[in-house]
Each structure stands twice: as C-alpha cells, then as structure tokens.
Chains A and B, each alone.
Chain A
C-alpha cells in the first residue's frame, strides 16, 4: 500500500543521439534543434537537445508502472519543462507520494539530468565528456556540479532540474 512520503527513484540513460532521432521520427519532428548539431549550434544551443516530451515519456512510464503494480490506473500527469537534456545525460526520476485521499494517490515528480563532465584518477583527467568539451553547463547550473567515486575514478558531473510535475493514479 502506498503511503505519504514514500519515494521511488529510477535512473534511465544515457540519452543518445540515436534515441533522440528515433523519437523525432515518431513525432515527425520538424524542429532541427533535436537532430541537427550544426543547426542547433547556429541558433546558439551548442548542439542538439532532447525533446522535452521524450523526457516526459520517462516520467509517464514510471508513474504508470507504479500504478500498474499497485492495481491502479493513471489518472493524470502534469509537467513543467525546466531544463535541457543533452546526449550523454542520465535522467533521474524521483516520484514521491504527496497525498493519499480515498482511492486517489497523488505524487510529486522530479526529473534531473545528470551530465557527465570528466573522469579523473589520481589527480589526472582520464576522460573528458561532450558536456565539458562543448561548454554545455550554463553559469546558473554551476552550483549543480558535483563528483562521485566510480570504479573508473572520480566522475565530475552536473545535476540539474529537467522537469518538475505532479501525477495522480486511482486504485481499482
């Protein structure tokens, strides 16, 4: 049984150019900022970005999965697009139960993008990622830069809000 403040975290990715192209094909995307790096650079984006609705699709997938394992169905979802997601980013979805009212369960949902920047071992940079090479971290996002130990060394990354939203499911 779902309870208020119960929380679920899902990690998907990394988002790839191939995945973005496949989504663009599905929605007959005419917006080149998703599929053409040269065009995206021309309009000041420093490269392609994922469709907001592709990232939203992961939001819906995870809430719908929670609904199904709890013998419930998806009532609604609401999203606000807060930041861009780039090829190479991981997406971290956090879903928290905010209210249980009768048969209706409400959730707060957040998706962060985690952009790898560089990998270092013994103080030496062993790998640099596209996010670092192309300067994808905006000034305002620098507070989201952090590091973590991995089996290959210390990974420096930028974590930033991509989507904030809510959802409701109804128990059968």
Chain B
C-alpha cells in the first residue's frame, strides 16, 4: 500500500493538462482502415496505382476506431504530474494499466484528411484509491485549433497497481 493518505490524491482532482497537439497524417487514416480490413471507400479509398501524383487524402474520413490513436498517447505525458510535496503522482509508470475507454461522438464532426492538426484538452475527472489500487479517469475533448469543430469526447480510465503510486 502507498504511504500516502487517500486525501493526498484529492489535490489532483480536476487538474487540467496542457492541450496535446496531434498531427493527422492521411496515410495513417487509411492504414488503420486497411489494418482492420475496412472496405468502406470513405475510410479506405481504393488507391489509384496509376496515379503519378502524391495520393490525395483530403477526402478520407477517419474511422471512429482511429480516436484512441490521438487520445491515448497523451497518457504518457499525463504521468509526469507532481504533488505539492514535489513527488511524482505515478512513482512507477510500469504499474499503469489502461483499463477502460469511453468514446463519445455525439455532437461531434468526423475527422478528415483536411484536419491537419488537432488538439486534445484533458483533465482528471476522478481520482481515488480502491482496494489498494489508484484509479484515475481522464476526460478529454479533441478539437481543431479554434474549437469550432469537436471530433471526439472521451474518458480514459487507468489503474495504477500497488507500488506504483
């Protein structure tokens, strides 16, 4: 069991992280669709092998399964939080498990190959210790630069096992 009291973790509740920037590469959008054997041409247009010009990904729509690829990598930077005692929140990142993921596309627009840079705002929406494990929910909203488009809202649940916090 951690030597920290359960109250120690309250200081992190509601913490807002710096927005994470992610660069959309059209090729990656189609690569995921290909990997999933997704045949819908809006996700995976049949490549024109006779074309000499560079492929045009502007009309490619991101498959909904693409969302974790731009949301989850932020997890690794979120682990660097420190408490008011100067100690890291996560003492051993090897003890982190990503145990749950909610993706909410309501009132969102599809991401396409024209959306070059997207930003994910994230905050800790829940943090508590249960059965000697630290549970953290990180709520995120992924948007374009001026937030005129929302692409996905999510909640990422991570569990840090004993010895990791």
By a beta-carbon cutoff of 8 Å, the part of chain A in contact with chain B is: 12, 19, 22-23, 26-28, 30, 43, 52-53, 56-58, 60-61, 64, 68, 73-81, 170
Q: B35–A27 contact, CB under 8 A?
A: no
CA distance A27 to B71 in the complex (A): 10
Q: A60–B64 contact, CB under 8 A?
A: yes
Chain A residues near B35: list those with CB within 8 A. 19, 22-23, 26, 57
Q: B68–A56 contact, CB under 8 A?
A: yes
Residues of chain B from 67 to 90 with CB closer than 8 A to chain A in the complex:
68-69, 72-73, 76
A-B contact pairs, 26 of them (CB 8 A): A12-B37, A23-B35, A26-B32, A27-B68, A27-B69, A27-B72, A30-B76, A53-B68, A53-B69, A53-B101, A56-B65, A56-B68, A56-B101, A57-B35, A60-B64, A60-B65, A61-B36, A61-B65, A64-B65, A74-B105, A75-B104, A75-B106, A76-B105, A78-B103, A79-B101, A170-B106
> Closest chain A residue to B34 by CB distance?
A22
Question: What string of 1s and 0s marks CB contacts (under 8 Å) between B5-39 and chain A?
Answer: 00000000000000000000000100110011110
Contact partner of B63 (CB less than 8 A), chosen from A19, A27, A64, A77, is: A64
CA distance A60 to B103 in the complex (A): 10
Answer whether residue B47 sits at the interface, using C-beta atoms and an 8 A cutoff. Answer: no
CA distance A79 to B101 in the complex (A): 5
CA distance A124 to B28 in the complex (A): 46
CA distance A116 to B117 in the complex (A): 42
Q: A43–B65 contact, CB under 8 A?
A: no
CA distance A112 to B99 in the complex (A): 16
Chain A residues near B36: list those with CB within 8 A. 57-58, 61
Knowing A22-B35, A57-B68, say if A80 contacts B100 (CB, 8 Å): yes
